[in-house]
Each structure stands twice: as structure tokens, then as C-alpha cells.
Structure 1
Amino acid sequence: MGDQAIDESDHAFALPKSLLDTDLYKASFTMQQAVLRHFPNAQATYRFTHRDKNVYFTKECYNRYLTALSHFADFAGVTPDELAWLRQTCPYFDETYLEYISNFRFKPEQVNVEFVTKDGDPELGRLEISASGPWVETILWEVPLMACLSEIYFHTADCDWNYEGQEELAYEKAKTLLQADAHFSEFGTRRRRSYRIHDLVVAILIRASKNVMGKGKFVGTSNMHFAHKYGVMPIGTIAHEWFMGIAALHGYEDANSVALDLWEQVYPKGPLIALTDTFSTEVFLRDFVKDKARASRWTGLRQDSGDPMVYAPRAKVAFGSIGIDYRTRSIIYSDALTSDKALKIKEQCDEIGFTCSFGIGTFLTNDFHSLSSGGTEKSKALNMVIKLASINGEPCVKISDELTKNTGDPEKVRHVKAIYGLPP
């Protein structure tokens, strides 16, 4: 792969570089503090899904992944320097949680990885990955497990790519967004091609934000390690997992409301940005507008599935129905964004009067072309997720605004849809 300069014989190349090398919000620190506060004894199970059925992993990839996984136990908690940075940058973390994370250790025995061969071929197959244990511990597995797997896959199973032109590509993307006065953050940890490209992208976004004049802004990164390394803001909202877990523990009838209330108890000063599509945005907004006082405290919404062009008009109607000026609210878009898609959405929000920003992930940290095609075909990122499967033995489901993103036992999904009055 030419200029990659990676020692592939060393398992460490794919490991996170710090306990902070994860997302602030996505099954990570803010979520972990909320679980520690409310559900310290809850037991959880997570399961991996690779949505692209035509992509297989090699046995070598599997073996290297197992080796890397065993070394997660070597990670210490956050360092004194990182702890000081967390205290200064993230005042919403209390001392109880900071002490907890300082002493945190990964337990690789919580993770099980199986290699299921393809049609009897011993060298190709699918991976079945699960993690089980206390929710407050296993919650930190999702992001690094996927980032590690992606890096190993693209250095063993798919090597038909290189880094040539990536610096220029990242700069042009940032320039396009900044010149259009867009506000955006980097959300690309989970499916990054490598730590190296992630590091490069964040550095380039910062450089572009200093060079390109205008109202556009690189707001920050969801990755705590890079926020610390480069002195930018760590960015995060709330994840589907919170709503899924609350529903399993408290029931589905008022799950959205209970989840918002419990979150607000942990983060009373916010920022309070509500993710709306765990059980469909339709259901969320129906519950949201029942309590004007609470809706007034939550200053924005996050769109993460479905048609983004129907989202702002729908949100405008919802806020207007309870007498809240939608122009004082914001929307964060984070679903499979590209520069062009973000700018199309921004044009609509500007016309309506919504403040909007964009959390951009795979487009920034895993946008490559195959060498064998002469650069004409994409070298596709792994289309993978790790989702909460159960809490205390109760199955968890997600009913997305995009049908292909539904998660959980099909029968349970149908049952929950019936509770919410959604089409089967």
C-alpha cells in the first residue's frame, strides 16, 4: 500500500491510542455517566451487525482481531493530563464519574467473536460479535470494537487502496462547507479506515477553518482523544441506546419522555439536543409536544435516519403547535452526510429559518477509491453497527425512520410498532 508505513505484524496499529479515543456521546462517556447514575447494576448485551451481505472477512482478519482484542486489557484509565482536560473542558462530568473513568479497565472476556465460514470456505466468513456484562462497563465497547475491526480489515482483507490525495480531499471538503457558511463537526470514529486518516482529517479541518474566511465553522469532533490532542471542542448529543435501554427497563408507552427526563437529571445545564428516531420521529414528536415546559428546555433535535428534507418542516410544525418559536431551536443532521447533501439541507433550513449544523462521519474518515479501478470505483467502508440487544434479559429494539436500520427481534419490533400505532 505504498505510503501507509504501517507495521502490520504488530497488533497495536489497530488499537485505540487512548481510552479517550472514542466518541463523547455514542455509547461512550456521557452515556456511561448517565448509566452509572441511574442504572449501575443493569446487565447488558450488545450485538454486531454487518449490513452488507456481499462482504466477507478473512480468517487472517479474524485472527488479528482476536489478538488485538486481548490487548484491550492493557489500557489504563484516563491519564492525569487527560483527567485535568476533562475537568476543564467537560464540566458536566462530576467527580464520582471522573474517579470511575480514571480507574476503568476494559475486560476482553466480556466480548465473544465467532468466525462463521462462507459456504464451507475456511478462509472467508462472517463475524458474529457480542459483548455482555454490566451496562456501565460494556457501554464503552461499541466504538473501539468497530474502529479496530475496520482498521484491521483494511490492512488485511482489503488492501486495494492507499492514502494518496487524502489530505487534499479533506481540505476541499472542508473548504466547500466553510465557504457555504455551514457549521459542521467530525463524527467519524466508528467506521474510520484507520487512526492515521482520522488524525489527518481532524488536523486538516482545523487548518481549513483557519484559512477559509466566512461564517462557516468547524465546530469540533466527537472523538475525545482528538479533541484533547488538538484543543478543539468535543461534540456529542445523545444516542439511540439510551432510549432503547430505558424502554426495555421502564416500558414503551412513555419511553421517550422517561428517557428525556432521566437524561436531564444528569445534565440539567445541557446542552439538551434530542435524538428523535429511536422509535420513529413521528412517535417522538407526538410525545415531545405533550410537555411544553420540557420541550422548551431541550434546545434542539438530531436527525439520524429517513428523508432529511422532511425533517425541518415537520419540526417547525411540532414546535409551532405548542407555541415555541422554532427559530430559537436548532437541528443537527448526522445521517450519512456528504458535502452536497449537507448544503442541500442547509439551503432548506435557511429558507425555513432553522439553525442547523452537521455531524459528518464516514464521508470524512473513510472516503477512498480502489486502486485496481484506477480510482473510478469506491473502496466501500464497512457498513456495520453494534447495537444494544438486551438489558436485564429484556430485548431491545430500534424502530428507525429508515426501515433498513430497524434493530432487534422482528417479533418484538412488530409488538412495539403496535404499541405506538405504527404500520407493521
Structure 2
Amino acid sequence: MDSSLPGLVSVLDTDLYKLTMQQAVLRYFPDAVVSYKFTNRTPSTRFSRKCYDAFTRAVSKFPEVTLTQDERTWLASTCPYLAPDYLEYLAGFKYDLSQLRVDFIPSSDDPEWGALDIEAVGPWRDAIMWEVPLLAVLSEAYFATIDTDWNYDGTLERAYEKGKTLITGGVAFSEFGTRRRRSLKAHDLVVEGLVKAQKDFGTGDGAGMLSGTSNVYLAKKHSIKPVGTIAHEWFMGVAASKGYANSHNVALQYWEELYSRKLLVALTDTFSTQAFFKEFSSNKTRVEHWSALRQDSGDPFAFAPVAQEMYKSLGIDHRTKRIIYSDGLTIDLALRLKKQCDELGFLSAFGIGTNFSNDFDKASNPTEKSAPLNIVIKIASIDGKPCIKISDVLTKNTGDPETVRHAKEVFGLPVNAQ
């Protein structure tokens, strides 16, 4: 593989929820300063100096990329919820390398191999843009310099077959694979294959269909809808800044004020789905307004029955609501979850990421998978206050332990599950 990388080809080569959240940050937290930190969830995976060098060379060119007039015009037409003043801000946005620190930490046994320490610190309104392209470019650097036992053979065709299976199976789905893609070229081929499957098998009835892609650049390139709403980062930042009591409703209220009846998909698991439903269900009017719930951790088959009970307890017809699943989905899992939602009466949709954008076999042995990286960048603090996440697996938490303990006390969760 060629170790030279395309880097960042467009400001829009990111996920839509970064733009929607950036607009919200500009409205409600224009002066907040945040930090983001990188985590490699597979510590046995090491990075080489060659990978580090390729990655940092690509990142050094990020500031050269700015929003073009053509992109701005397209955004204004395609995403009317992005206000003119926000688009003006985005047009002036440039990546600021002074916000970013990327260190290579060599291993004691071999200085050519080691770990990466990545941190971004700056105004939330700007630093929010680092996460997605950094992860995408790092993944591409890894598979261009370290794991090179793969090729592009069959990438488009594989995506096409997956799209065909989902569409003919009545599944509404979106492509969510930017952060962990094998490469920009792979991502582009995947979206091309999915679009072709939609053209060949979509009936236009809204049941089985490709709803769009979270990647704004590829949505524009392939003339499909950019999709996305809100991420854990929003809830984490709002709660750390404003306090954990009633923080779900505070975060949702800000969002609803800004977007009215648009983009009202509630992400449920930032501080556990249990805590979310407890707060969310305290405001029937809000539950009526929000059109969908997004399930992103825990047992996906346990989610719909609990959501059904929540809606029933408020006298709301759950059959008018949608569940969007987005946690580690495969094609088979999406089909099985669709069947459960049909049986319970929920509308459903699916955001499929890594299984689309980083599903490759080893070139030397096509019966063996070439495993994707499992890397994340999370918001770590806001104005000096630590940001945390409490998983639906209550023993798996992210962030400062004392803040986790405090939040669990506020939310009525088992404090000893640290």
C-alpha cells in the first residue's frame, strides 16, 4: 500500500452531527473551552513511527482545507436547519494546529513501535471538528503502513450485496462509517455500491431503503441525503457544564429550541438508558415531540420492550415512534432487530458503520478477516470540568471516577458499579 494519504479533502468530510452540534455550541456555549482525548480500545494494537509520520504529515495539511462556495450553497439548500449565520461561521472556519498535540510514545522493547497520545484543546465551537477526521485519517494511515495485507477487490460489490439484502428485507438504513473507515477510497466505493443497490432495488415506499450517509462530503458527491443529529458529546458537555441533575432534559431542551421539530432523535445511553428514560418520561410533551430514540449500547433486543413500556406509561402510541439502532451493527443483526420492531409495532431504522466502511478480508487469505481498529476520541473536559460517560454496562465508565460516582448518585444508579 502507498503510505501517502489524501488527508482531509473537504471540511465536509465529517459526520453531519458535528455540524449540527457545532451550530448548537455556537448558540449556547460560544465561549466554552474543551479538551478531547484519544483512546485505543485495543491496547495490544501498536503504531509504528512510519504510521505516526504519515498521520502527522496528513494532519499538518488540515488548515489548507476550507468550505468552498459550492459546498456552502449545497449545504444551504440541502440542510435548511443550518442557519445562514452558522454557514457564515463555517465558511470562515480553519483547523488550528496549535489546538492539537500528537505524541508518539515508543515501546521499551522497540523504539520504532509504540502508542499514540492525542489531545485537542480549544474553544468548543472549533475543537469539535477534530474528532472525526483525526480518527478517519489515523485509520487510513494504519492500513497504509502497518496492516497492508488487504486490497480493494470486491469492495463495491460487497457493499452492493449488503445494500440489496437490507433493501429487499425492508430495512431503512444509513451509512455511518466515517470514523473507522479503511480509507477515503474504500468509503467512497462503499457509498457508491449502496447507492447502486438503492437504484436497483429501492421501491420508493420508504420501507427498505438507503436513507443516506452521515458523511457530508460523500452525501454531496453521490447526491444522497446527509443524515445525523446528536452525539454523546452534547449530553456530556451540557451535563458537565450545567450539572447532572435533569441534564438530559436540559440538553434536549436546548436542542429542541434550536431545531424545533427537526432532527429530534434522542440518544439514550450517555449516562445509561435507565437514567435517560427516567428523566425523559417526566415531560410528556417532550416525549411527544421527539420522533425517535437512538440505541447505541447495551443489549439491543432489550431496548424496544423498555421503550414500549415508557411510551405506554405516558399514553403515547409507540407505533408513531421510531427506534434507530447504531451499535456495532451487522447486516444479520439489523434484519433481526427489524423483525422485533415490526412485531412490537415500532418504526425502525439502522445506522451501520464499521461493517460497511471497514469490512475487509486479508489478501493473503481471503477466508480470514482483516480486523478494523477500535479507536475513539472523546470530549474529556469543558471549562476545566471533567466530562464523563456512563455505559449501559454499568461497570464500564469513561472519565474521572469521582465525577462518575457523583453522577451515578444523581441519577440513582448503583454507585459501587465503578
Asked whether the two chains share a fold, i.e. TM above 0.5, the reply is yes
**For the residues of structure 2 that align with 1:18 and 1:203, how far apart are their CA atoms?**
18
**For the residues of structure 1 that align with 2:76 and 2:258, how far apart are their CA atoms?**
16
* 2:370 is the alignment partner of 1:387: no
AA aligned opposite 1:410: P
CA RMSD of aligned residues (A): 1.2
**Structure 1 unmatched ranges of 5 or more:** none
Percent identity between matched residues is 54
**For the residues of structure 1 that align with 2:127 and 2:330, how far apart are their CA atoms?**
31
Counterpart contact for 2:202–2:209, Cα < 8 Å: no
After superposition, give the CA deviation of every residue in 1:291-321 in whole Å (9 maximum; x if it has no partner).
0011111111000000000011000000111
Counterpart contact for 2:8–2:65, Cα < 8 Å: no
Q: Which residue of 1 aligns with 2:344?
A: 352
* 2:187 is the alignment partner of 1:198: yes
Of 23, 47, 71 in structure 2, the residue corresponding to residue 33 of structure 1 is 23
**For the residues of structure 1 that align with 2:20 and 2:336, how far apart are their CA atoms?**
31
* 2:308 is the alignment partner of 1:316: yes
TM-score (norm 2): 0.96
Q: Which residue of 2 aligns with 1:331?
A: 323
Secondary structure of 1:263's counterpart equals helix
Of 241, 249, 256 in structure 1, the residue corresponding to residue 233 of structure 2 is 241
Distance 1:404 1:183, change over 3 A: farther
AA aligned opposite 1:209: Q
Q: Which residue of 1 aligns with 2:150?
A: 161
| 1:376 to partner: Cα distance | 2.4
After superposition, give the CA deviation of every residue in 1:248-288 in whole Å (9 maximum; x if it has no partner).
11100111010000111111131200000000000000001
Structure 1 stretch 110-119 or stretch 225-234: which is displaced more? 110-119
Counterpart contact for 1:14–1:152, Cα < 8 Å: no
| 1:378 to partner: Cα distance | 1.7
After superposition, give the CA deviation of every residue in 1:314-338 in whole Å (9 maximum; x if it has no partner).
0000011111100000011000000
Counterpart contact for 2:261–2:289, Cα < 8 Å: no
**For the residues of structure 2 that align with 1:177 and 1:16, how far apart are their CA atoms?**
31
**For the residues of structure 2 that align with 1:287 and 1:329, how far apart are their CA atoms?**
18
Q: Which residue of 2 aligns with 1:99?
A: 88
**For the residues of structure 2 that align with 1:154 and 1:404, how far apart are their CA atoms?**
32
1:401-420 equivalent positions in 2, closer than 5 A: 401-403=392-394, 406-420=397-411
* 2:113 is the alignment partner of 1:127: no
Secondary structure of 1:226's counterpart equals helix
**For the residues of structure 1 that align with 2:397 and 2:151, how far apart are their CA atoms?**
34
Query: How many residues in Structure 1 have an aligned counterpart in Structure 2?
Result: 412
AA aligned opposite 2:22: Q
**For the residues of structure 2 that align with 1:213 and 1:62, how far apart are their CA atoms?**
43
Counterpart contact for 2:271–2:390, Cα < 8 Å: yes
**For the residues of structure 2 that align with 1:376 and 1:415, how far apart are their CA atoms?**
48
Secondary structure of 1:121's counterpart equals coil
Q: Which residue of 2 aligns with 1:60?
A: 50
**For the residues of structure 2 that align with 1:411 and 1:377, how far apart are their CA atoms?**
43
Counterpart contact for 1:44–1:391, Cα < 8 Å: yes
| 1:405 to partner: Cα distance | 5.6
Counterpart contact for 1:14–1:151, Cα < 8 Å: no
Q: Which residue of 2 aligns with 1:186?
A: 175
**Structure 2 unmatched ranges of 5 or more:** none
**For the residues of structure 2 that align with 1:171 and 1:87, how far apart are their CA atoms?**
30
Secondary structure of 1:168's counterpart equals helix
Counterpart contact for 1:202–1:226, Cα < 8 Å: yes
| 1:171 to partner: Cα distance | 1.2
**For the residues of structure 2 that align with 1:291 and 1:261, how far apart are their CA atoms?**
11
Of 294, 298, 307 in structure 1, the residue corresponding to residue 286 of structure 2 is 294
Counterpart contact for 1:188–1:198, Cα < 8 Å: yes
Secondary structure of 1:125's counterpart equals strand
Secondary structure of 1:233's counterpart equals coil
| 1:120 to partner: Cα distance | 3.7
| 1:199 to partner: Cα distance | 0.5
**For the residues of structure 1 that align with 2:133 and 2:60, how far apart are their CA atoms?**
13
Counterpart contact for 1:24–1:235, Cα < 8 Å: yes
Counterpart contact for 1:14–1:194, Cα < 8 Å: no
| 1:392 to partner: Cα distance | 0.1
After superposition, give the CA deviation of every residue in 1:349-402 in whole Å (9 maximum; x if it has no partner).
000000000000000000012233x12222111101100000000000001213
After superposition, give the CA deviation of every residue in 1:66-85 in whole Å (9 maximum; x if it has no partner).
21121112112x11111111
After superposition, give the CA deviation of every residue in 1:5-32 in whole Å (9 maximum; x if it has no partner).
x5x3x4xx2412100010001xx10000
| 1:119 to partner: Cα distance | 2.9
Q: Which residue of 1 aligns with 2:60?
A: 70
After superposition, give the CA deviation of every residue in 1:41-99 in whole Å (9 maximum; x if it has no partner).
000000000100111000111112121121112112x1111111111111111111010
Distance 1:238 1:59, change over 3 A: same
AA aligned opposite 1:118: S
TM-score (norm 1): 0.95
| 1:213 to partner: Cα distance | 4.7
| 1:121 to partner: Cα distance | 1.5
**For the residues of structure 2 that align with 1:275 and 1:421, how far apart are their CA atoms?**
19
Q: Which residue of 1 aligns with 2:11?
A: 19
Counterpart contact for 2:198–2:209, Cα < 8 Å: yes
Q: Which residue of 1 aligns with 2:391?
A: 400
Q: Which residue of 2 aligns with 1:175?
A: 164
* 2:358 is the alignment partner of 1:369: no
**For the residues of structure 1 that align with 2:220 and 2:41, how far apart are their CA atoms?**
33
Counterpart contact for 2:8–2:58, Cα < 8 Å: no
